[in-house]
Amino acid sequence: MRRFDFTGGTAVVTGAAGGIGAALADGLARRGSDLVLLDRDAARLDGVADRIRATGRTVWTHQVDLSDAGATAAVADLVRDRHPRLRLLVNNAGVALGGRFDEVTFDEFSWVVEVNFRAVAQLTHALLPALRAEPGAHLVNVSSLFGLIAPPGQVAYAASKFAVRGFTEALRHELAVDGIGVTCVHPGGVRTRIAADARVGSGVDRVRYEDGRRRFERLLTIDPATAAEAILRGVTRRRPRVLIGWSARLPELLARIAPAGHGRLLTALGRAEARRADPAARARTPV
């Protein structure tokens, strides 16, 4: 399959109001793509679009809550009608929920699956004819580090991201005959708002959760622009999988070496990294 050509094509990016999505929009504009940007945060999405329009690129925006299947279908129809040929679709939008399975309601669990997986499959299904109509098209689905490993307290998020991974890997084989490239992305510790914006399960102890969230956020050290460039390089080269950062590559290696026992190793590494990032924690640690 030939290298991907961004110039003059139209790219759709979900979750484009911030984080990796906004950085992807900037990177795609620099490479000569016109953009269709989707997000639920209209104000921040307009800010991203205005910045890119100032460079001379064409940008369309759509506010949509992807947890709503009807709204997702409606925006997909609008995009397909206006853009019958799409060169790139990036399903990047995602949400998180803190809490063990017995600490969250099933509605809370389902909300994560709706946004992180159902919307990915629904938009891909609706926009696939537009991708097929554009020679050399490409599809990117953003999974996660937690689509490689499944830690406690992230059962909803991990379930949704493992589903994205399986969906994407199977779809890659199906779309190869159409000449459509497919990439699954597994970001590690990227500095986005997903942890700060995460919902908390109804049965979760808030003090314990906030302590865990603060420790987790110390591990988010990768700039979104760095992650976006890694993704776009992967698209250029038609890579089937992109792992971003050691925080994705190392757990993926451990999961392959020790499928059943890697959890204990990751817990120890996480504690060591938290101590490294927190001088006060180092001072409390016996030598």
Per-residue pLDDT for the chain (287 aa), expressed as one digit of tens each? Answer: 899 999 999 999 999 999 999 999 999 999 999 999 999 999 999 999 999 999 999 999 999 999 999 999 999 999 999 999 999 999 999 999 989 999 999 999 999 999 999 999 999 999 999 999 999 999 999 999 999 988 888 899 999 999 999 999 999 999 999 999 999 999 977 767 676 677 888 888 776 766 655 566 666 678 899 999 999 999 999 999 999 877 777 777 777 776 766 666 656 655 554 455 444 444 433 32
Looking at residue 212, its pLDDT comes to: 58
CA dihedral 4, 233, 216, 153 (to 10 degrees): 30
Q: Which two tokens stand for residue 101?
A: 């399975």
Greatest CA separation for the chain: 65
Residue pair 242/186 in contact (Cβ under 8 Å)? The answer is yes
DSSP label of 65: -
CA–CA separation, 231 vs 241, rounded Å?
9
CATH superfamily of domain region 10-246: NAD(P)-binding Rossmann-like Domain (3.40.50.720)
**157 counts as catalytic:** yes
Residue ranges of alpha helices (H) inside the chain are: 19-30, 42-53, 69-82, 106-113, 119-132, 155-175, 206-217, 224-236, 246-257, 262-277, 279-284
Catalytic residue among 6, 111, 157, 167: 157
Looking at residue 138, its pLDDT comes to: 98
- Helix (H, G, I), strand (E, B), or coil: what is residue 204? coil
Looking at residue 159, its pLDDT comes to: 97
CA–CA separation, 111 vs 63, rounded Å?
18
Looking at residue 64, its pLDDT comes to: 98
Residue ranges of the domains in the chain?
10-246
Pairing outcome for strands 241-244 and 88-91: unpaired
Number of CB atoms found within 10 A of residue 193's CB: 14
CA–CA separation, 66 vs 53, rounded Å?
25
* Residue 164: closest CA among 188, 187, 184: 184
Looking at residue 261, its pLDDT comes to: 64
Residue type, 201: G
